[in-house]
Amino acid sequence: MDADRNPFEYVRPLRPEDVTGRDALVDRLVGAVRARHIVAVAGPRRFGKTSILGRVAQIAEQVDAVDVVTVDCFGLASLGEFAVRLETAMSGLRGPARRLASRLLAPSELGLSITPGVGFKVRFGQRDAPDASAVLHALLDTLVAVSEQRGGLLLVLDEFQDVARVEHLDAVLRTHLQHAREVAVLFAGSRPSLMRALFEDRTRPFYAQAEIIEVERFDVDTAAGIVEDGFAATGDDAGPGGEIVAHATEGHPQRLMLVAHLMWELVDPGGAADAEVAGAALEAAHARTEAEHRATVDGLDRTHRDTLRAVAGYGSPYARAAERTLGLARSSVQGAVGALTADALLERTSDGAWRVVDPLLAHWLRATLPPPGGVRTSRR
């Protein structure tokens, strides 16, 4: 590690070799890939799913010689758009797998190609473009054929919950993948409740077709260790700052990296982070994320907003103090709780407690709560 380079990346996914603190999860997913299983990986945004998937894909390619195709489903609007993304993703196949896929696609009357600049991806939306459904079936047929002839393939579908927006797409995928014995599939999504619904709802095509694995927060010891190791890699010392930051960010992966990044910037080369430096880094993080928090809250209606504030300030949307200071009626809170949980803004912990997913948002919300003696409304 370059001593002048900040070791804490918080904006982009980590390089596969930089993923740390996730050994057990990575090993579990690698085992699933080797067994050619179908797995759904669920966790809120910024919990490191893409980084974890990248690490698993690297092991599949470099250790197990398994071909990998990764499709980002974020914001997906149509079946045709998914076909474009899949065709483009298949262009990432290498060597023999790429040549095989090209040879299998060549006879198609649909004009498909994994060569950049040609294929369905450049004709999509045009009047003479082939039927998107036929294109998707042909691409999936090719993918399965490559897996069979090559002895294995990993298909990664990131932000898979957005597939629910496209009618029949998950049904088409299931038709091809459920009997594809040499294809391992990793579905990943940032809205855990919706991801679970895709695989636990009897009306959905992938019902009971995948093992669901949750991406958890770091525990405090792991989080502190990540900060300490990052400082040590550049010849610095996290001091007590590592543990302070780990507790303050509640093991939230991206928020941990953000605050650690800022704390590293405040320490002189070869120096150590004390409690004062950790506090300054937290204040800098709060200032940096304030506009983001405001935008998040401004996009909510009053009941949803105040339900979040109740959890941040009082630990429960049903707390009597929340009812008094925020005017929350229990009858309206229940719907808000469901919606906020679906959007991964709110979560329930293993011990049944409520928590705002983002600890920095929770801090900001507490700062905006009315004082205990503030405006009160009559109980209903």
- 3-class SS shares of the chain: helix, strand, coil, % to 5: 55, 10, 35
Q: Which residue has the tokens 């490559």?
A: 146
Is the pTM here over 0.75, yes or no?
Answer: yes
pLDDT at 375: 43
pLDDT band at residue 371 using 50, 70 and 90 as cut-offs: low
User: Mean pLDDT for the chain?
Assistant: 92
Tell me: the pLDDT tens digits for 340-353?
Answer: 999 999 998 888 89
pLDDT at 329 (0 to 100): 81
Please check the confidence at residue 374 and state whether its pLDDT lies above 70: no
Strand partners, 187: 40, 157
- pLDDT tens digits, one per residue of 316-335: 998 888 888 888 888 889 89
- Dihedral sign computed on CA atoms, order 201, 204, 207, 210: negative
Q: Which pLDDT tens digit goes with each residue over 138-148?
A: 999 999 999 99
Q: Look at residue 377 and tell me whether its pLDDT is greater than 60.
A: no
Kindly state the percentage of the chain with pLDDT values over 90. 83
Q: Is the pLDDT of residue 378 over 80?
A: no
Question: If we measure between CA atoms, which residue out of 349, 337, 358 comes closest to residue 290?
Answer: 358
Q: Rounded to an integer, what distance in angstroms lies between the CA atom of residue 56 and that of residue 206?
A: 23
Residue 380: the pLDDT is: 31
Q: Is it the case that residue 67 has pLDDT exceeding 90? A: yes
The CA-based angle 13-16-17, given to 5 degrees, is 125
